[in-house]
Amino acid sequence: MKFIKLNLEINSIIIGERIKGGVFRPCQTTIPSSTIEGALKHYLGLDIKAVGYFVEDTYKIQELTYSVKDKMLQTAKMPIFANYLAPKDKKILADIFIVKDNSFSIDLFNGLTFRMGALKSKGFGKCKVAEIKEEEYQIVQGLLKVKLFENEAESFNITAISPIYGFLFRPDKYSIGGKYKRALFPDSLVKAPKILLKEKEETYYDK
Amino acid sequence: MNEKDIMNKSKFIAELHDIGKLVDDSLKSKYGIIGHTFIDFNFTKFGIIQPSSPSWWGQYHEKTKKKNSYDWKTEDNINNWSKDLKNYIKELFLLIIADHLASSFSRSIPRISGASLDTTKLDNNEQNNILEKLNIELDTIRGIIKLWNKNFYQKEEKDGNYWAYFKTKDDLKNLFDEIDGCKSGDDFLKKYKKNLLLTPEDKAIPRNITSLYTHIMLVGKIFRVLIKNVPKPIKNTDSSISISYNRKDVKKTIDAEGDNFICYKDKTGKLKKGEIKGEWQARFIKCNIKVPHSFVRLPDINLLKKREELINNIVVNYKDNVLFHTSDFIILFLPLNVNLDEIFKEFSEYGFYIECTETIADLGILSSILDNKTLKAREEKEQNRVKVLEKRNTKVYKKILYPEVTEEIEIEPFICEVCQQKKSKNEPWIHENIHEWICDKCWKIRQMGEPFREYTEDWKDEKVCWFKFSINQDKLEKWLISSFSDYIDCVDNEIHKIKVKDVIKEEFHTLSPQIDFNYDYKEMLKEFWEEFKNEEDMKKPIKADERNNEKDYNELGVFKYSEELTKKVINKFCELFDKYFPDCSSNDESPICLSLSISNIKYPIRDHWKYFETENNNFLNIQHHNVFKDNYTKEEIELILNKIPSSPISKSSLYDVIETFERLNSDFELTIRLKEKHKDIFELYANYNIMPKKFLNIFRLVGGDREK
């Protein structure tokens, strides 16, 4: 299985968990296909199948307090506590895996800068493509590391053996509405390109 | 019908098969009893009435052949067994298999010569030598040796307890009355619990590490699972009989079980392959119960109460299939035809998911570690092992039992904010002007009410400390394996040679010690809560409903934060760990840990829980929200706590030292500055490599008021 692999450099980013409730907003450490595909669509205008994760040990989770302003009343609503990722050292690094397709060229990503995730207006989510590679990955059995739409799994050469499901948001074509679609979540037992597996480790269960 | 006849109508109670293991050695030698069964006991000579209940026939479970050629042994074809047994052939046959299986769950097999030391054949010097190595002050080896508490039996003897229950002639009569009169396996286990817990299942070294209690409990359970699935013996056309399970008819135990090993090198170095396939297979399933829910409000943790309730239902409905369980882990023994989804149906309805590792194998090799052994053999491409396992149709599956999840959900109604899986109700849960969208099941859980009043009323605006004890079963398995290996090395030397040492280490099965360990863990938690039962500022959020015969969930607690209480909790944990697990690892290899999460009361419970679930890596783990996150070994925390009372400290000066170290990353600088101003902390750093930051974190938590 061949992917286009992008190495991203990021200053700070919030990819919120769908879990909300109350005033606390946790963030996640994977880059779901819904988030990266949405960002690429916004910047390149193309439907590109992609998924990713942040490189361990390059980030730490920190907390931000902010308050949404009620523009009508000119008052601040209840404060919200949001988690965000900050660099552990210089930059947060992320790996993005893109399914190669004849409809676009790899050169498209050269020097690309885009924003992804939440609170972009407050400066979060600026991503810079630092490196582009085309790499081939072996397909083996293991535990999934990423979150991606179930109906896109085949494009990534992922076969679910024992899935863990969750939901990711898929906007409609006008980006004003959409639906929650079933997705494969981390720790699902799958057959997949090794790079998308936890610890990049192969497992040996019967099917 | 006389009393004896009434007794004879009673059931075959498998638990009684090893009752002879509770007879004192002196009584045995007085009455010429060899081994632990009574089939050769001379009842007439000693004027004792021989039992005649069905359970009596369980005494034949280890029958060997005498020199006389007409005799029989349990390995023979059942058609050659004694005619006296004709009504109980099925029961005895299944008891033998259950006994083998329970033994293989509990200790090292294969049953090979030279693999153990019969302690009764060791002279006093030899016994003393071993006891000395184990740091036990008894005069002979007797009683169980718990790997995590080697002096357990010695302490019990000091308190006046002794392993044997039957010590006199009258006791012997009582034993035979018990065989006739015992009403159930549970009654037997309850009545003799104390002695069964002190007695090892097998007194030979190194098998003396598991309790007879656990072994007998396992035999009883496995026996009843098998007997439910085995009809009456089948009469064949040649008038012989067979025993059938899962439509596989057999006449010998070896035909049912197959070889009881996969492959190993014997003492001459020759490779032995266990290629004889058993006809009977069963499933051994390890089930981890996962909580994907996000606890938004305090009542959401009622879900943990629901989890206890659902586990209790499984334990009641599948009593014999559940070999053991904790609050989030169950081990099941199942025949092939039972639907696993059905067992966990209610869990799925409430949004839990179950991560299962299922092993299907011949009864001869089925064990608690066969999953890992099979996966390892496949990974390391050990061809001989893999071939034997394949030939014997051994399977290892990872299954995730997941609630049914629809393909898509419209934006409205939303996805439930608590379980993240179901559609929310059409109306929101409104509290303090915040709208929350939750599904009907999570709504129900929330409506179970506040777990305790103080949290939202009396403790308003306070700082709280949530804490959770955890036991990691994977770590426990690993620790038991390594500790057993150390035990073998410890008792094996020039005098006491244990042959095929590597094979025994490799073949060690952890389940029974694991059960014993978990039993002690539960006792430790009970004692912990007993200590704090009058503490007004500490609460156990999940209390049992005694009407449903439930037990309290003792792993989770919360208290109104104070330095004294925090210190008391940590100290008590260390003290109880020393009492119950003095020989167990107390660092990042420790199967047991305590995690504390301190924050303002408004900090979401979900995040305390997330911390408990994900960062419980060391003996003690602490998260002080927005202040620090750190973890400690037992040695570290004890050393730090010991220094604190005598350490008047300038926090600002210590900050300064730490900051400089972090900036310069210079050990030299750190040493100089500590030596100058913080002698105690320097000692911790120089002698135990405990960084000053670790000290400061604990200091701020338990003694920060005593500024210099």
User: Distance between CA B177 and CA B540 in Å, rounded?
Assistant: 45
**SS3 of residue A85 by DSSP:** strand
User: Distance between CA B310 and CA B379 in Å, rounded?
Assistant: 36
Nearest to B198 by CA among B188, B186, B208: B208
* Å between B332 CA and nearest CA of chain A: 19
Residue type, position B255, single letter = D
Cis amide leading into B110 (omega within 30): yes
Does B579 have pLDDT greater than 90? yes
Cα A32-A37-A42 angle, rounded to 5 deg: 135
Q: Which residues pair with B398 in a beta bridge?
A: B357
Sheet holding A189-193, edge to edge: A139-143, A189-193, A159-162
pLDDT at B129: 78
Nearest to B591 by CA among B491, B689, B524, B691: B524
CB A37 within 8 A of CB A148: no
Residue type, position B551, single letter = K
pLDDT at B685: 79
Does B396 have pLDDT greater than 90? yes
Tokens 């038991």, residue?
Answer: B480
pLDDT at B704: 55
**DSSP string of A135-182, one letter each residue:** EE--EEEEEB-S-EEGGGGGGGT-EEEE--EEEEEEE-TTSS-EEEEE
Which residues of chain A lie closer than 8 angstroms to B374, CB-CB? 204
User: Distance between CA B446 and CA B424 in Å, rounded?
Assistant: 14
Structure tokens at B686: 């120089």
Least confident of B14-28, B151-165, B693-707: B693-707
pLDDT at B151: 94
Tell me, yes or no, if B411 comes closer than 8 A to chain A by beta carbon. yes
pLDDT at B471: 95
CB B254 within 8 A of CB B276: yes
Give the length of chain A: 207
Element (H, E) at B161: none
What is the arithmetic mean of pLDDT over B464-468?
Answer: 96
pLDDT at B581: 98
B667 Cβ partners below 8 Å, 6+ apart?
A: none
pLDDT at B707: 46
What is the arithmetic mean of pLDDT over B12-40?
Answer: 93
* Pairwise CB contact (< 8 Å): A22 & B415: no
Tell me, yes or no, if B399 comes closer than 8 A to chain A by beta carbon. yes
Cis amide leading into B206 (omega within 30): yes
Alpha helices for B192-237 (secondary structure H): 193-198, 212-228
Nearest to B385 by CA among B287, B507, B282: B507
* Pairwise CB contact (< 8 Å): A165 & B405: yes
Nearest CB among B402, B409, B417 relative to A164 is that of B402
User: Distance between CA B94 and CA B98 in Å, rounded?
Assistant: 6
Structure tokens at B613: 């679930």
Structure tokens at B301: 């943790």
- Dihedral of alpha carbons B499, B501, B506, B512, sign: positive
Tokens 């000692």, residue?
Answer: B683
User: Distance between CA A56 and CA A85 in Å, rounded?
Assistant: 11
* Pairwise CB contact (< 8 Å): A189 & B417: no
User: Distance between CA B140 and CA B444 in Å, rounded?
Assistant: 59
Q: What pLDDT, in 10s, does the model give residues B487-545?
A: 888 877 655 566 667 778 887 888 989 999 999 999 999 999 999 999 999 999 888 77
Nearest CB among B379, B398, B417 relative to A189 is that of B398
Q: What pLDDT, in 10s, does the model give residues B319-362?
A: 999 999 999 999 999 999 999 999 999 999 898 999 999 999 99
Q: How big is the A-B interface in CB pairs under 8 Å?
A: 84
Nearest CB among A21, A78, A162 relative to B398 is that of A162
Query: What region, left, alpha or beta, does residue A175 occupy, with left being phi > 0 and alpha being psi -120 to 50 degrees?
Result: left
Q: How far is CA B532 from the centre of its chain?
A: 25
Which residues of chain A lie closer than 8 angstroms to B406, CB-CB? 182
* Å between A89 CA and nearest CA of chain B: 13
Max alpha carbon distance in chain A (Å)?
61
HSE toward the beta carbon, residue A12, CA cutoff 13 A: 14
pLDDT at B311: 93
A137 Cβ partners below 8 Å, 6+ apart?
A: A1, A2, A3, A193, A194, A195, A196
* Pairwise CB contact (< 8 Å): A24 & B607: yes
pLDDT at B194: 96
Q: What pLDDT, in 10s, does the model give residues B187-199?
A: 999 999 999 999 9
Dihedrals φ, ψ of B670, to 5°?
Answer: -60, -45
Percent of chain B surpassing pLDDT 70: 90
Tokens 């007794």, residue?
Answer: B7
**SS3 of residue B221 by DSSP:** helix
pLDDT at A93: 96
Please, which pLDDT band fits residue B15 given cuts at 50, 70 and 90?
Answer: very high
Pairing mode, strands B556-560 and B538-539: antiparallel
Kindly tell me the burial class for residue B383, based on how many C-beta atoms sit within 10 Å of its own C-beta (0-12, 13-18, 19 or more): exposed
User: Distance between CA A155 and CA A50 in Å, rounded?
Assistant: 10
Structure tokens at B641: 């706590």
CB B349 within 8 A of CB B445: no
Which residues of chain B lie closer than 8 angstroms to A19, CB-CB? 294, 417, 420, 606
User: Distance between CA A88 and CA A96 in Å, rounded?
Assistant: 19
Q: What pLDDT, in 10s, does the model give residues B613-625?
A: 887 789 999 999 8
Does B110 have pLDDT greater than 60? no
Dihedrals φ, ψ of A129, to 5°?
Answer: -75, 115
Best B281, B405, B419, B431 residue to mutate vs chain A (most A CBs within 10 Å): B405
* Pairwise CB contact (< 8 Å): A167 & B296: no
Nearest to B203 by CA among B29, B336, B23: B23
pLDDT at B483: 94
Dihedrals φ, ψ of B150, to 5°?
Answer: -65, -25
Q: How far is CA B607 from the centre of its chain?
A: 28
Does B610 have pLDDT greater than 90? no
pLDDT at A23: 64
The residue ranges of chain A whose pLDDT is under 50 are none
CB B651 within 8 A of CB B706: no
* Å between A200 CA and nearest CA of chain B: 14
Does B683 have pLDDT greater than 60? yes
Please, which pLDDT band fits residue B1 given cuts at 50, 70 and 90?
Answer: very low
Q: What pLDDT, in 10s, does the model give residues B651-673?
A: 677 777 777 766 666 677 667 76
Structure tokens at B239: 């008038």
CB A58 within 8 A of CB A88: yes
* Å between B436 CA and nearest CA of chain A: 6
**SS3 of residue A92 by DSSP:** strand
pLDDT at B550: 67
Please, which pLDDT band fits residue B700 given cuts at 50, 70 and 90?
Answer: confident
Q: What interhelical angle do B679-688 and B667-677 show, nearest 10?
A: 140
User: Distance between CA B473 and CA B288 in Å, rounded?
Assistant: 10
Percent of chain B surpassing pLDDT 90: 57
- Dihedral of alpha carbons B248, B252, B255, B261, sign: positive
Nearest CB among B375, B395, B417 relative to A21 is that of B417
Angstrom CA distances, B404 to A127, A160, B166, B285, B287, stand at 37, 16, 55, 22, 18
B482 Cβ partners below 8 Å, 6+ apart?
A: none
B132 Cβ partners below 8 Å, 6+ apart?
A: none
Tell me, yes or no, if B417 comes closer than 8 A to chain A by beta carbon. yes
